[in-house]
Homo-oligomer: A and B are copies of this chain.
Amino acid sequence: MRHHILPAGLPTHKYEVDPWRLVEIEFDPEGASVDETLFAIGNGYLGMRANPSEGRESYSHGTYLNGFHETWEIRHAEDAYGFAKTGQTIVNVPDSKLMKLYVDDEPFLLSTADISDFRRELDFSTGISSRDLIWRTPAGKSIRVRTERMVSFEHRHLAVMTIEVTLLDEPAPVVISSQMLNRQDGQDEYHVRIAALGEGMDPRQARKFDRRVLTPRLQRHGRDADSSVILGFQCASSAMTLACGYQHLVDTACDYTASTEIMPDLAKTVFTIDGQPGQTIRITKLVSYHTSTGVPCEELADRCERTLGRARTHGVHAIKESQRLWLDEYWARSDIQVTGSATDQQAIRWNLFQLAQATARTQEQGVAAKGVTGGGYDGHYFWDTEVYVVPFLAATNPEIARKLLRFRWKMLPAARNRARELNQSGALFPWRTINGEEASAYYAAGTAQYHINAAVAYALERYMLATGDSEFLATEGAEILVETARLWCDLGFHATENLNGLSRDVFRIHGVTGPDEYTTVVNDNLYTNVMARFNLRYAASTVAHLREHQPQAYAALVRRTGLIDTDEGSEVTNWIRAADAMYLPYSPSLGIYPQEDSFLDRERWDFDNTPADKYPLLLHYHPLVIYRHQVLKQADVVLAMYLRGDQFEIAEKRRNFDYYDPLTTGDSSLSACVQSIVAAQIGYRDLAWSYFRQALYLDLNNTHGNTDQGVHIASAAGVWACVVHGFAGLEDTGHHLRFAPQLPEQWQSARFGIHHRGSQLQVELLPDGARVSVLAGLPTQIESSDGLVTVSEGEHLWIPRPEL
């Protein structure tokens, strides 16, 4: 039953082990493209790839602002009705990371410099990325160069970067050229080379534009060298506006002069310093970005100035303090502490830190597949935010989860239009989007994934279970549920199934694609039907609850949605009828659920004759070849068994896992974590551990080969779920919590906190069970071997490891 491509062991990564830092002690030109991602910093709004401040050598000089995108006309080689029309691509905004250094007029460039004592760190507790090294110049002088960079978690629009130069032996003229450069429309040779190599065949890469994207609209700077410098741009097609500016703080005992030049695509402040040995030259650059869908650049420039002014007033020390404070709180809510493997501890924290960087300041934007660490997948939002990221947030940072749900709620008008375009009632959320419109140009693996509707309902449920925020449910939540349920009810149809002489009413959903994209446009996808059933029931019970208990909210809901809910005819009754009749394909002989109605009729993929270099299959086989076989990109039935765990018996989960796991390539980064969770739940310890490690080191080991495009955010959230829902076996029944602790034998303990209906719980996994404590808040009901136990603040409950 072993997975056919499960690697025997994972390669050990090159980084120094440190529980709170990612550390690199040797400059690695070969790994630079991946390191740019792994050391990237961001706050969910503003993200900067870890390009060196000297510029030049880079895989991709990236600075991204969540939601700031350019649009372009999709040209289908063969068009058809309802195909997505407008492409959306996140823009690489002007690069403010540049602080070039010259000593004796010789440029410092990492690739050619004679360096020693190199050390690069990304610190998860301070939120600061830094690099330290000693440069022996061509003239033989020794220079210590230290750079620091942070994107503020506290101040959404602010980044701070510092360069410190110390001449260690001899004096020398030092020049620091601090720039802000529009790279989106400029040349980036290395990038071009990569694009040519890639030939654009990898659909996961970001789109390249062959025209100007950012139209310069504004250049502003004051008279003094330390006054703020601001550039303004507008996207040629989307018309979104942007202002970005910087201001410097200089701290040195050396004499210096400074001058600023400003051009449409480049602002540059050059410091010419009379460098003296032992006198550290420290230049701090405050940077601000503001964006809008249409506010004039002048107004955005004013906002930049205010952000910069406030930062100067606060001072760098205070900004760093607020950063640490924010992270202290984040880790208090979100940390997973393990003992037994410092490497795993580091990797877990790296993943959790990525979740902070991807979500902290999204405000009411979504979370892109790569967060703000790269342009992969064009910066689009997908369903994985709802299924992978929101559950983590709901249990640790519910306010952010709420914002993400409001983001979907605000998308409802566009989703209603899209449903209409696809001939359906209700609302259909776009498979991939930034601005709310469907941007998926390949509908079979895009628009056909109707299950995104249920993903939004699922995220809402996770948020409600964690918070009990009934006000949100009564308003935005209920509206989402009504419109998504409507779509399911209209999309499917009632039919009569005849089985063994008996006929029964079944509700079928045809022509959809499930999470597994290695079969598309199928009938009765198990995952979709299970999730649609949940969605329908959740909508029905929510409406019924409002009708009975919150008549005002109910009336408002009916008004907003035109819900028909009378004795003569009730949409709600139809939802219940559809849910109760929901058809789930089932094979009595195998005791498993076919992934879709005809899945078991397909030929099994010939894994034995598929060499390792043919994975991921999507890059090496025509979709038709993949689609006609039993082969999975990612967990599908197994994912349903995780998300709706109470709908399946454990023996059933085992049978299905046994069947599907050997067919699952894991070509999708969304797969390994789900395989680990369900393996843990059914007692497959070794597999659970192995898949967990695949998820844990997915980016750190670049196992999917595209970490250079950005961090796999959903997988990072999946790592958290592996521990909480896999190893701890946490389930929330809606009435109480249930645990099935099984600490991996490779660890001595693991500890994490969760937020549950206003209470703060701590779970400590130990080899023979788990200690669950209520640290603060209301008493919590927890299932134990003695039945339900109410655990109050300050108490704890011991749950022994179950036999599986």
What residues make up the interface of A, taking CB atoms closer than 8 Å to B? 74-84, 87, 200-201, 203, 421-423, 440-448, 493, 495, 498, 508, 510-511, 520-521, 523-524, 589, 597-598, 601-603, 618-625, 627-628
Contact = CB atoms under 8 A, between A and B. Distances in A.
B200 A510 contact: no
Contact of A442 (B80, B446, B493, B627): B80
How many copies of this protein are present in the complex?
2
Given A77-B441, A498-B589, A521-B627, 5 more contacts: A75-B75, A77-B84, A81-B620, A510-B628, A524-B601
Contact of A628 (B78, B81, B511, B602): B511
A182 to B, nearest CB: 26
Contacts of A621: 81-82, 423
Contact of A423 (B76, B510, B625): B625
Q: What 10 A-B pairs have minimum CB-CB distances, sorted nearest first?
A: A77-B441, A511-B628, A82-B622, A78-B442, A510-B628, A493-B603, A423-B625, A74-B77, A78-B441, A78-B203
Contacts of A520: 521
A76 B77 contact: yes
30 contacts: A74-B77, A75-B75, A78-B203, A78-B442, A78-B446, A79-B201, A79-B203, A80-B203, A80-B618, A81-B618, A81-B620, A81-B622, A81-B623, A82-B621, A82-B622, A82-B624, A422-B622, A423-B621, A447-B624, A493-B603, A510-B602, A510-B603, A510-B628, A511-B624, A520-B521, A521-B624, A521-B627, A524-B601, A597-B601, A598-B598
A204 to B, nearest CB: 10
A443 B510 contact: no
A80 B623 contact: yes
A81 B201 contact: yes
Contacts of A446: 78
A277 B441 CA distance: 66
Contact of A444 (B87, B201, B444): B444
A76 B442 CA distance: 9
A119 to B, nearest CB: 41
A523 B80 contact: no
Contacts of A82: 621-625
Nearest to A617: B81
A421 B601 contact: no
Contact of A622 (B201, B421, B493): B421
Contacts of A78: 203, 440-442, 445-446
The prevalent SS among residues of A at the interface is loop
A143 B423 CA distance: 58
A495 B601 contact: yes
Contacts of A81: 201, 618-623
B443 A623 contact: yes
A597 B623 CA distance: 20
A422 B74 contact: no
Nearest to A78: B442
The winner among A74, A200, A624 for most chain B CB atoms within 10 A is A624
A603 B81 CA distance: 21
Most chain B beta-carbon neighbours within 10 Å: one of A77, A442, A495, A601 = A77
A624 B431 CA distance: 14
A520 to B, nearest CB: 8
Contacts of A521: 520-521, 624, 627
A624 B201 contact: no
Contacts of A79: 200-201, 203
A123 B300 CA distance: 73
A661 to B, nearest CB: 22
Contact of A601 (B75, B200, B523, B601): B523
A618 B82 CA distance: 10
Contact of A598 (B76, B87, B523): B523
Contacts of A623: 80-82, 443
A440 B422 CA distance: 24
Nearest to A75: B75
A218 to B, nearest CB: 33
A597 B445 CA distance: 22
Contacts of A87: 77
B622 A80 contact: yes
Contacts of A598: 523, 597-598
Contacts of A603: 493, 495, 508, 510
A492 B81 CA distance: 32
A134 to B, nearest CB: 46
Contacts of A589: 498
Contacts of A510: 601-603, 628
Contacts of A200: 79
A606 to B, nearest CB: 10
A200 B73 CA distance: 13
Nearest to A492: B603
Contacts of A423: 621-622, 625
Contacts of A628: 510-511, 523
A215 to B, nearest CB: 23
Nearest to A445: B78
Interface centre among A443, A445, A448, A521 (most CB of B within 10 A): A521
Contacts of A442: 76-78, 80
Nearest to A450: B624
A447 B621 CA distance: 14
A443 B443 CA distance: 12
Contacts of A444: 444
A498 B600 CA distance: 13
A679 B631 CA distance: 43
Given A78-B442, A81-B621, A624-B422, A523 B602 contact: yes
B77 A422 contact: no
B77 A624 contact: no
A203 B75 CA distance: 12
Contacts of A508: 601, 603
Contacts of A620: 81
Contacts of A498: 589
Contacts of A84: 77
Nearest to A513: B624
A70 to B, nearest CB: 15
Most buried by B among A84, A447, A598, A620: A598
Nearest to A200: B79
Select the residue from A82, A448, A628 with max chain B CB neighbours within 10 A: A628
A350 to B, nearest CB: 31
A524 B628 CA distance: 11
A450 to B, nearest CB: 9
A589 to B, nearest CB: 8
A632 to B, nearest CB: 15
Contacts of A440: 78
A639 to B, nearest CB: 22
A619 B77 CA distance: 16
A83 B78 CA distance: 12
A619 B620 CA distance: 33
Contacts of A74: 77
A231 B624 CA distance: 45
A558 B589 CA distance: 45
Contacts of A421: 622
A592 B62 CA distance: 60
